[in-house]
Amino acid sequence: MRILLIEDMESDAELIRMELLDEWPALQLDWVNGRQPLMQALANPAPDLVLCDSRLPGSLHGSELHALVKRAWPDVPFAFCVGAVDDPALQPLLAQAEAVVDKNHLQALVPTIKRVMATPRPD
């Protein structure tokens, strides 16, 4: 399993990595925390899944992140992992993704990823 994690906070990235490694010890987690690392990652072969925060401060909003990823890899599942899942202002953004995980409830991360990965993709 290979996941691209778009997250600006190193502490959140580490918590997410630890949660995922419990289920997938051989996981390859590619972490990017800014525009330039993201653009470099998008030039690589597609991962199995993209996990993304709702914004990268000072550089990219979630809708732009989603658009960039989907332009590069239209068939790759995309999930938001955010700390304010109930924020009404985020609802239109979160609706763009195949799944949403609350950073305050990371125990839902693995089941959510399994569900997304089991969902058939359009041909």
CA 71 – CA 25 distance, rounded (Å) = 30
The CATH architecture of the domain made up of 2-118 is 3-Layer(aba) Sandwich (3.40)
For the question of whether the overall pTM of this predicted structure is more than 0.85, the answer is yes
Amino acid at 21: L
**DSSP structure string for 4-67:** EEE-S-HHHHHHHHHHHHHH-TT-EEEEE-SHHHHHHHHTSPP-SEEEE-SEETTTEEHHHHHH
User: Which tens digit of pLDDT belongs to each residue from 68-115?
Assistant: 999 999 999 999 898 876 776 667 777 778 888 989 899 999 999 999
**Residue 18 belongs to what H/E stretch?**
helix 10-23
Amino acid at 90: L
